[in-house]
Chains A and B, each alone.
Chain A
Amino acid sequence: MLTIRSLSKRYGDIVALDDASFDVRPGRIVGFLGPNGAGKTTAMRCIFGLVRPGAGEISWNAQPVEHQHRLRFGYMPEERGLYPKMRVGEQLAYFGFLSGLSRSQAQQAADHWLSTLGLSDRARSRLDELSHGNQQRVQLATALVHKPELLVLDEPLAGLDPLGIEAMSALLVEQSQKGVAILFSSHQLDLVEDICEDVVIIDRGRVVLDGEVDRLRAETGKIRLEVAIDGEGWTPRFDGLIEIGRGHRHASFLADRGVRIEEILEKATTEGNVTSLSYGPPHLSDLFREAVGR
């Protein structure tokens, strides 16, 4: 288990991390959320010793993280990058070797990942001869080539098309089922909600929400209401409901759990022909908005 305790980091006057603490457990996928500049990348870099924290502790299975632990971690940085002129197969094997595999193990692992990603025939191509999407796949394979116990992925979904996102999601779930601990940051909250069991929300360097997604959604004491009516330019008004989104014919609200649905339905019916009304626990994006407070 990766344990982060009281992590702090300042760059001059800018506070990147402020007493941040959270865990990543084996076999779990943790969505690491936060607005731009919240400190996600800094926290991830701290795990790999790329940034030295001002204070705090990072440990793996109760031991302070050292170089030999990091060889068992896999990292995909936000800024993607590999050697453009190096052959794909050689490149994967090289990174496998740097992570402690023997030459032959590294070669096998490189072959395995290239065939898994459907790139076996490109093993001898230079990286810059590959399409953008395929370069992304090689980047991911680089993080996975040494069978890491912890995967840290900074914005792994950024720049992927819907098919790519699907494949990436499937791969993350598969890795977590093998017992890999996964920490990944993203701005695509609906996807995070689908994939992740746990979520850490960070804002201005502080962890503002942390826990199991389902539990957090249940614990808010709020429900999410969506009403749609037949008619253009609807401006709904309900006392005690917080409007969180509106389109031409529908609107979404956060309400206290004790709200009387029948009253809302009744009021909506007077303003138009209600075509649908649904309610349930709030979305992750609602929790996010509330936690970040803007």
Chain B
Amino acid sequence: MTAMRSIFAVATRDFLQRARSKAFLITTAVVVLVLVGGGFLIATFAGDQPAVGVGHVGTPPAALSALLDASAEHFELDYELREFESREASEAALVDGDIAVAIDGRTVVWQQETSSLTNAMVTTALQELERMDTIESLGLSHSDVAQLLSPAPPAVETLQEPDPERGVRQGAAYAGTVVLFMSIVMFGQFVLLGVLEEKSNRVAEVVLSRVRPIELLAGKVIGIGLLGMAQLVVLAAAALTLVSIIDLAELPNLSEVGIPVILGVVGWYVLGYAFYSVLYAAAGSLVSRQEDVQGVGWIPMIGLVPSYLLATLASQTPDLPIIKIGSMLPALAPLVMPARYAAGDAAAWEVGVAILVTVVSTYLVILFAARVYRGGILRTGRAKLRDAYRGAAV
């Protein structure tokens, strides 16, 4: 009972002290701003481009409009056709920038630079028109011409239907991997620095005369972990709001694909964070000074770096055998499995195995890390991992 009380007190302190710190608030605000701002920027640039003004001297032939339509569609351009009474009037409009290009009979008139896409659109349409005229002058009928110009396409049969959401899933899996990795590293680092802070300020001895080392460790990991989760939820909410506002047309089934991904990210964050944060805590207990952090930071990275690489691979090619195995191995599963099932297919039992393996391995890691922490937290100077582990037993 007193243990729960102590853990709760420590967790509350660690959560509030950091949540109230200006550095944390500013960092979170900046990340949200970058996310939202970046999203709007992308939406602006990816949105509809203004129609290209195309001038025509005299009334354009009926066939030209149809050909320009087809050509514009092919090049993914919008255009607006305007009639001018004379060549001079169209040139004046060109100079004023009202139109980008003018067509005078079979001549294309530019003011200065040519936009290659607009050029291609206009040129293609005019060449088509030329060809139709030539074919007509050979005495062929309109239907013959149409037959000649657009032969029936061959029948297509596909053995495997393509996954229309594949791109979205890959993107979500990759983004999820990055967010998961960053969150685990960032809040793991918070745990390391939190432990180090208590050592270097020598407050650890004051605290540990009142609470057991395991309670201090648990409280710290839980408090900082909840802070990380709160930040993830804020970021996810910002991302979802953004998506709903700017209506990214390229993400068709976002609510179907996106929300499970976000839920999965938070769930796997809890598992991955639990596994790695205690390793960060153990690493922090080995040093007494900020300068020595480099020397122990590798401990959690042994697992995190291969996890990240494998998870990145999994987000693109989830079906590789190495991914299938890695997604169910301890230390790797928390990053690789979510990437794999987000990008491809993982059977329910495989996800179950990954969760079970992670829970069991986390328990073992906690036993190990707690012992190192107990051995290291009251040592001064740089302690060796082995000495701290052994020291705790004496």
Kindly state the separation between the CA atoms of A77 and B205 in the bound complex, as whole angstroms: 7
Kindly state the separation between the CA atoms of A68 and B3 in the bound complex, as whole angstroms: 11
- Residues B206 and A68 in contact, CB atoms below 8 Å apart: no
B13, CB-defined interface residue at 8 Å: yes
- Residues B204 and A81 in contact, CB atoms below 8 Å apart: yes
Q: Chain B contact residues: over half helix, strand or loop, or mixed?
A: helix
- Residues A50 and B205 in contact, CB atoms below 8 Å apart: yes
Closest to B3 in A: A67
- Residues B209 and A83 in contact, CB atoms below 8 Å apart: no
- Residues B210 and A71 in contact, CB atoms below 8 Å apart: yes
Q: Interface size bucket, B side?
A: 20 to 34
Q: Smallest Cβ distance from A117 to chain B, in angstroms?
A: 17
A84, CB-defined interface residue at 8 Å: yes
Residues of A contacting B197 in the complex (Cβ-Cβ under 8 angstroms): 83
Residues of A contacting B202 in the complex (Cβ-Cβ under 8 angstroms): 77, 79-81
B134, CB-defined interface residue at 8 Å: no
Our pick among A49, A50, A75, A84 for the contact of B201 (Cβ within 8 Å) is A84
Kindly state the separation between the CA atoms of A95 and B207 in the bound complex, as whole angstroms: 8
A175, CB-defined interface residue at 8 Å: no
- Residues A98 and B6 in contact, CB atoms below 8 Å apart: yes
Q: Smallest Cβ distance from B16 to chain A, in angstroms?
A: 9
- Residues B209 and A48 in contact, CB atoms below 8 Å apart: yes
A97, CB-defined interface residue at 8 Å: yes
Decide yes or no: A82 and B378 within 8 Å by CB, A97-B9, A98-B6, A100-B2 being known contacts: no
Residues of B contacting A60 in the complex (Cβ-Cβ under 8 angstroms): none
Residues of A contacting B17 in the complex (Cβ-Cβ under 8 angstroms): 83, 85-86
Residues of A61-104 whose CB lies within 8 A of B: 67-68, 70-71, 73, 75, 77, 79-86, 94-95, 97-100
Kindly state the separation between the CA atoms of A94 and B15 in the bound complex, as whole angstroms: 14
Closest to A48 in B: B209
**CB contacts between A and B, total, < 8 Å:** 63
Interface 0/1 of B1-41, CB less than 8 Å to A: 01000100110010001000100000000000000000000
For B10, B208, B212, the residue with the greatest tally of chain A CB atoms inside 10 Å of its CB is B208
Q: Smallest Cβ distance from A141 to chain B, in angstroms?
A: 12
Residues of A contacting B155 in the complex (Cβ-Cβ under 8 angstroms): none
B203, CB-defined interface residue at 8 Å: yes
Our pick among B6, B13, B209 for the contact of A50 (Cβ within 8 Å) is B209
Kindly state the separation between the CA atoms of A177 and B199 in the bound complex, as whole angstroms: 35
Residues of B contacting A75 in the complex (Cβ-Cβ under 8 angstroms): 205-206, 209
- Residues A98 and B205 in contact, CB atoms below 8 Å apart: no
Decide yes or no: A98 and B201 within 8 Å by CB, A70-B209, A70-B210, A85-B17 being known contacts: no
Q: Smallest Cβ distance from A95 to chain B, in angstroms?
A: 7
- Residues B206 and A95 in contact, CB atoms below 8 Å apart: yes
Q: Smallest Cβ distance from A63 to chain B, in angstroms?
A: 17
Interface 0/1 of B193-219, CB less than 8 Å to A: 000010001111111111110000000
B152, CB-defined interface residue at 8 Å: no
Closest to A80 in B: B202
Decide yes or no: A81 and B205 within 8 Å by CB, A67-B2, A98-B6, A100-B2 being known contacts: yes
B245, CB-defined interface residue at 8 Å: no
A289, CB-defined interface residue at 8 Å: no
Q: Smallest Cβ distance from B10 to chain A, in angstroms?
A: 8
Decide yes or no: A98 and B208 within 8 Å by CB, A67-B2, A81-B201, A81-B203 being known contacts: no
- Residues B210 and A99 in contact, CB atoms below 8 Å apart: yes
- Residues A98 and B211 in contact, CB atoms below 8 Å apart: yes
Q: Smallest Cβ distance from A5 to chain B, in angstroms?
A: 20
Q: Smallest Cβ distance from B96 to chain A, in angstroms?
A: 64
For B9, B10, B17, B205, the residue with the greatest tally of chain A CB atoms inside 10 Å of its CB is B205
B394, CB-defined interface residue at 8 Å: yes
Closest to B377 in A: A50
Residues of A contacting B203 in the complex (Cβ-Cβ under 8 angstroms): 81-83
Kindly state the separation between the CA atoms of A161 and B197 in the bound complex, as whole angstroms: 28
Residues of B91-148 whose CB lies within 8 A of A: none
Interface 0/1 of B172-206, CB less than 8 Å to A: 00000000000000000000000001000111111
- Residues B206 and A82 in contact, CB atoms below 8 Å apart: yes
- Residues B207 and A98 in contact, CB atoms below 8 Å apart: yes
Kindly state the separation between the CA atoms of A45 and B208 in the bound complex, as whole angstroms: 10
A8, CB-defined interface residue at 8 Å: no
Residues of A contacting B2 in the complex (Cβ-Cβ under 8 angstroms): 67-68, 71, 100
Kindly state the separation between the CA atoms of A77 and B394 in the bound complex, as whole angstroms: 22
A142, CB-defined interface residue at 8 Å: yes
For A48, A52, A77, A80, the residue with the greatest tally of chain B CB atoms inside 10 Å of its CB is A77
Q: Smallest Cβ distance from B386 to chain A, in angstroms?
A: 14
Residues of B contacting A94 in the complex (Cβ-Cβ under 8 angstroms): 9, 13
Q: Smallest Cβ distance from B19 to chain A, in angstroms?
A: 13
Q: Smallest Cβ distance from B336 to chain A, in angstroms?
A: 38
What are the 6 closest A-B residue pairs judged by CB atoms, nearest first?
Answer: A81-B202, A75-B209, A48-B209, A79-B202, A81-B203, A98-B210
Contacts A77-B202, A82-B203 known; list 9 others, CB within 8 Å: A50-B208, A75-B209, A79-B205, A80-B202, A81-B201, A81-B206, A86-B13, A94-B13, A142-B206
* Chain A residues close to B by CB (< 8 Å): 45, 48-52, 54, 67-68, 70-71, 73, 75, 77, 79-86, 94-95, 97-100, 142
16 A-B residue pairs with CB within 8 Å: A50-B378, A51-B378, A71-B210, A77-B202, A77-B206, A81-B204, A83-B197, A83-B201, A85-B17, A85-B21, A86-B17, A95-B206, A95-B210, A98-B210, A100-B2, A142-B206
* Chain B residues close to A by CB (< 8 Å): 2, 6, 9-10, 13, 17, 21, 197, 201-212, 378, 394
